[in-house]
Amino acid sequence: MRIGILGSGSVGQTLANKLLTLGHEITLGSRSGSNQTGSAWAQAAGPHGQNGTFADAAEFGELVINATLGTGALAALEAAGAKALAGKVLVDVCNPLVFAEDGTLSLDPVNTDSVGEQIQRAFPDTRVVKALNTLSAPVMVDPTRVPGRHQLFIAGEDAGAKQEVVALLESFGWPGADIVDLGGIQAARSLEMLMPFWVNLWRHYGHTDFNYSFQIGG
């Protein structure tokens, strides 16, 4: 499948490398098509990976992944263009993190809105699915880094889009039974609001190879 990835940082590259090993064709998009990180990635990636602008990546992808910084996500998607994104599944991986000078984390938007919802409102013809924003990039593409059963969470308005995303996540090694559908895109609020807790756990454990695992009674 042709997949466009917006954002050439570590999350975008980690997803891109995994998708290449699964036989997909990737365009990694950055603000500038001559972005150094993107170009270096494409050179190493071989014939099935190329880099370009956000618009190049969005046009290229049959499915598009938003792996930009959350606070710049809307600008990146505007640059990609509504036409290039229309009708497509957009997997929104980002979190709107704002770090103060003293290291304190807050989110913007938060509480009564989320980046996932902002994107769905701004691009009504795009089928947005919030996914993968609750864990580190290495674990996203290799759930065996964390022992035992542990869960992923998705949210979105389009049931068919969610099915496609579940299939993609299963191809990464996630058991379907551990992918929890929290409902419509409004649930993206609750998923993005996990991030301050996740950062505190990272500081507590000293690494990011951990994930939510729900033990269920009743």
Smallest separation (angstroms) from a copy of itself to the CB of 206? 8
Which one among 21, 148, 159, 177 touches a copy of itself, defined by CB under 8 A? 148
| Closest CB to a copy of itself among residues 21, 111 | 111
d(CA 12, CA 26): 11
190 binds a copy of itself (CB under 8 A): yes
Distances 108 to 104, 140, 193 between C-alpha atoms, Å: 13, 23, 10
Least CB distance to a copy of itself at residue 94 (A): 17
Nearer of residues 50 and 211 to a copy of itself, judged by Cβ: 211
Interface of this chain with a copy of itself, residues 77 to 136, rule: CB under 8 A: 104, 106-107, 110-112
Q: Is 200 a residue that touches a copy of itself (CB under 8 A)? A: yes
Backbone angles phi, psi at 88, to 5 degrees: -90, 155
Q: Of 21, 23, 46, 214, which lies in the binding site for a copy of itself, with binding defined by CB under 8 A?
A: 214
**Shortest separation between residue 71's beta carbon and a copy of itself, angstroms:** 14
Nearest to 172 by CA among 72, 93, 79: 93
The helix-helix angle for 73-80 and 115-122 (nearest 10°) equals: 20
Q: Does 58 bind a copy of itself (CB under 8 A)?
A: no
Rounded CA separation 54/31 (Å): 6
HSE-CB at 58 with a 13 A cutoff on CA atoms is: 26
* Residue range at the interface with a copy of itself (CB under 8 A); choices 10-18, 25-33, 80-88, 206-214: 206-214
One-letter amino acid at 132 equals L
Q: How many Cβ atoms from other residues are within 10 Å of residue 82's Cβ?
A: 14
Angle subtended at Cα 71 by Cα 119 and Cα 38, rounded to the nearest 5 degrees:
95
Read off the amino acid at residue 93: V
CB of 218: closest distance to a copy of itself in angstroms? Answer: 4
Question: With binding defined as CB under 8 A, does residue 159 bind a copy of itself?
Answer: no
| Footprint of a copy of itself (CB under 8 A) | 104, 106-107, 110-112, 139, 145-150, 180-183, 186-187, 189-191, 193-194, 196-197, 199-201, 203-205, 207-218
